Amino acid sequence: MRRLHNALLLKQLYTLRELGFEYSDIKPSELEEEPARLPYEMRELEAMVAGCQLCELSKTRHKTVFGEGDENAQLMFVGEGPGATEDSTGRPFVGRAGELLTKMIENALLIPRSSTYIANIVKCRPPGNRVPSEEEAYTCRPYLLRQIELVSPQIVVTLGATAYRYLTGDKSPISRVRGNVIDTQKYKIVPTFHPSYLLRNPSAKKEAYRDMLLIKSLMQEG
């Protein structure tokens, strides 16, 4: 009930801003406590996501895309949101971008994709693959934070600017922050390019490969 109340409140604030009212931007820290009201059991959380109707994306989705992989993974990937193939299968990163992500994991990190955990900022497909709005991203973010808490990885790799922005609150361009290591108290965040960007800009694969080597060395450090 309280979550619904908060989501509606958030919606009102966004509407006021669209009308020209100014107020300070939402800081992730203000929402950090939200996951406290979510289940601590992964299947229960997944069921809650499957029934979620807190934002507009729920109206057009076919399937929610919760996330998949090793729930004790050392390494977690966070993308932006499901595309068409993910929306029809209910699995993350299974389209063309997913094929590239799988190659990056298996050929550069030399580990099976199934040994990692993969999730997204939003669990429902934005129509036409548009970037999720702030409202959609911040409404869905508590689910991701609880997933991260449950998996408890050492490294979280954010794929693209949207994943980086909504996990960290930093709006810097991905070209500036990729390859950095952000040490939070609980895990390290390594931003890199989104595989869809790499499909459109193959020359950036060199830098993405360097990021993978960095991730590999962080994993070996343990």
Nearer to ligand URA, 13 or 134 (CB): 134
Nearer to ligand URA, 93 or 143 (CB): 93
Give yes or no for a contact between 54 and 107, defined as CB atoms under 8 angstroms apart.
no
Type of residue at 149: E
Which region holds residue 90: left if phi is over 0, alpha if psi is between -120 and 50, else beta? left
45 binds ligand URA (CB under 6 A): no
Type of residue at 128: G
86 binds ligand URA (CB under 6 A): yes
97 binds ligand URA (CB under 6 A): yes
Stretch that binds ligand URA, among 21-29, 76-84, 141-149, 205-213 (CB under 6 A): 76-84
69 binds ligand URA (CB under 6 A): no
132 binds ligand URA (CB under 6 A): no
CB of 221 to ligand URA, least distance (A): 27
Measure the CA–CA gap between 7 and 35, rounded to whole angstroms.
13
Measure the CA–CA gap between 169 and 141, rounded to whole angstroms.
11
CB of 181 to ligand URA, least distance (A): 21
Burial 73-96 (b: 16+ CB within 10 A, else e): bbbbbbbbbbbebbbeebbbbbbe
Sign of the C-alpha dihedral, residues 126, 132, 135, 137? Answer: positive
73 binds ligand URA (CB under 6 A): no
CB of 5 to ligand URA, least distance (A): 29
Number of residues lying near ligand URA (CB under 6 A): 13
208 binds ligand URA (CB under 6 A): no
Across the beta sheet with 182-183, the strand order is: 68-69, 117-120, 75-79, 155-159, 188-192, 182-183
DSSP string for residues in 88-133: HHS-SS-SHHHHHHHHIIIIIS-S-GGGSEEEES-SSPPGGGPPPP
Nearer to ligand URA, 93 or 193 (CB): 93
Stretch that binds ligand URA, among 35-43, 82-90, 148-156, 199-207 (CB under 6 A): 82-90
Q: DSSP letter at 77?
A: E
CB of 82 to ligand URA, least distance (A): 5
Q: Which residue in 35, 92, 132, 142 binds ligand URA (CB under 6 A)?
A: 92
Tokens of 65: 């895309």
Question: Count of CB atoms within 10 A of residue 56's CB?
Answer: 15
Stretch that binds ligand URA, among 9-17, 79-87, 167-175, 212-220 (CB under 6 A): 79-87
Kindly list the residues in this chain that would bind ligand URA in the complex (CB under 6 A): 65, 79-83, 86, 92-93, 95, 97-98, 120
